[in-house]
A and B are shown apart, each in its own frame.
Chain A
Amino acid sequence: MNPKNSSTDSPTINPETWVDHYGDYLYHFALSGVRDPSAAEDLVQETFLAALSARKNFASRSSEKTWLTGILKHKIVDHFRKKAKEPSGDNIMSGTEALDKLFDPKGQWKIKPAKWDVDPMKLYEQREFMKVLNDCLSGLSSRMASVFILREMIGETTEEICKVLDISATNCWVVLHRARGYLRHCLEINWFTSMSTED
């Protein structure tokens, strides 16, 4: 179960070793995206099955892992597309009400952004930080999370997101603005202010 295998420069693919080598990684990726364990399990299985039937097309230019991740990304986009068609009673902006209290009526900061002491790479390696980030992501409405995940994790353009989720470009930009504002604020409260007291 060594995730560091030597297949990166090898043109062959070994489906027998996929689950051992990439199962946890793909599951982690899927779950970070869709936040639903059973949906994430299905996405991983579908990814492997799609990869199996397309394995003749595997171009050795990329690693197996990159290739499988690409397939999983497509599956996640499809998942969000299907979910967007389901009727949803909740307001897409719900959960982000706290943002309106950050500014005074003139639009000046009332609760000023604190100084963050960060080294992104090191911080990323900190499990605790990733846990806080995931908890913060869970605070977004599921539709807002879809938009944010598609943009920042899958790397879709806003044009593409509009098509997938059937929303307008303006709506998409507002949603991303609220999602970023919310996550920034949530990380500040739950992570950074406990590390630094300077303002």
Chain B
Amino acid sequence: MKHWMFNCKEVTRMLSDSLDRELSFHQRVGLRMHLLMCKFCSRYQRQLLFLRETMHLHAKHSEDMEPLIKLPPKVRERIERTIHNVLDRPE
């Protein structure tokens, strides 16, 4: 028989999986029951969502924010030259 009482370690795994795939009915019910009782796993869930949100922002990168890292000047010149060469080439 399947057990319904998942421990915290199992719950953290299911919380992560729920970000990538659909959990089974059994997992969803067990997970919800656990989260009702366990403040630390609820916290863990919020923190995983925060991590995901942060990575999305990291990727999108606000227009107004100065990039943390800049293209090194030499590389910038090299790339600019390459672009000019291609643009100057007759089609």
Contact = CB atoms under 8 A, between A and B. Distances in A.
Partners in one complex: yes
Interface residues of B, number: 49
B59 A176 contact: no
Given A27-B69, A27-B71, A28-B68, A19 B79 contact: yes
A154 B59 contact: yes
Interface residues of A, number: 58
A28 B85 CA distance: 25
B58 A116 contact: no
Given A27-B70, A28-B68, A103-B9, A152 B20 contact: no
B71 A158 contact: no
A21 to B, nearest CB: 11
A31 interface: yes
Interface string B33-62: 000000011011011101111111111011
A195 interface: no
Nearest to B43: A113
Contacts of A183: 51
B75 interface: yes
B79 A45 contact: yes
A24 B70 contact: yes
Interface of A: 3-4, 15-16, 18-19, 23-25, 27-29, 31-32, 37, 41, 44-45, 48-49, 52-53, 103, 106-109, 112-116, 118, 120-121, 123-125, 127, 130-131, 133, 151-155, 158, 172-173, 176-177, 180-181, 183-184, 187-188
28 contacts: A4-B63, A15-B87, A16-B83, A19-B76, A23-B71, A23-B79, A24-B70, A27-B75, A28-B67, A29-B61, A32-B58, A32-B59, A49-B82, A52-B87, A103-B7, A106-B7, A107-B8, A107-B10, A108-B7, A109-B40, A109-B41, A113-B43, A113-B44, A113-B47, A124-B57, A173-B16, A180-B19, A180-B51
Given A32-B59, A112-B40, A123-B54, 9 more contacts: A15-B83, A27-B75, A28-B69, A29-B61, A41-B71, A45-B75, A45-B82, A130-B68, A173-B16
